[in-house]
Amino acid sequence: MRELKYQLIKVTVQEQNFLAKFSTNLDKQYKKVTGIHVSLPDDALIGSTIYLKMAGKEIFPEGFEVKMISSGQEISPNDRFFNDIEEPAEGNLIEGNFKDRTYSPDRAASIQYPYDVLIYLKLEEKA
């Protein structure tokens, strides 16, 4: 049976239109990344964008909307992951940024700053 691990990256967004950069290492005990899911505290934030690189390779380009890899809480945890990805983990660097964006002033008023964005990574095959 394949061994799985879910690695969490927490990104704090301080204010409206904030660009939050992040950088960390993938778990070196696992061989590959096979899924990603971004959890937001409010649906009004789905127009925010994420830029992501793993081991120097671009995974999501600038302007990539978070809603493409996000979902509501009514979805079971297993089904929340975007699975069209397979990249080596093995301690490689994962880096990128999250750009806060709300659709309108009305929706922005409902957002409580600062807030945390949770990026979940699904890792497989313990080395």
Partner 1 sequence: MEKTSLWIIHPLNIERPNKSYEFSIKLPAHFKKCKAVGFSVLENLLSPKAVTKHFGEISLQFNSRRVFPVHTGVEYKKIYRKKTRELLDINVALVPNQIVSGFYSDYGKTYDAISEDFEPYTLNLYFQCTTATEIPQETTK
Q: Applying CB under 8 A, which residues contact partner 1?
A: 32, 37, 43, 46-47, 57, 59-61, 63-65, 67-72, 74-75, 79-82, 84-88, 103-104, 106-107
Q: Which is nearer to partner 1, 30 or 81 (CB)?
A: 81
- Hey, how many other C-beta atoms are within 10 angstroms of the C-beta on 32? 15
Rounded Cα distance between 127 and 28, Å, is 8
Q: Which is nearer to partner 1, 13 or 102 (CB)?
A: 102
For residue 37, count CB atoms less than 10 angstroms from its CB and return exposed for 0-12, middle for 13-18, buried for 19 or more. Answer: buried
* Least distance to partner 1, CB of residue 26, Å: 13
Of the candidates 125, 126, 62, which has an alpha carbon nearest to the alpha carbon of residue 99?
A: 62
* Least distance to partner 1, CB of residue 119, Å: 14
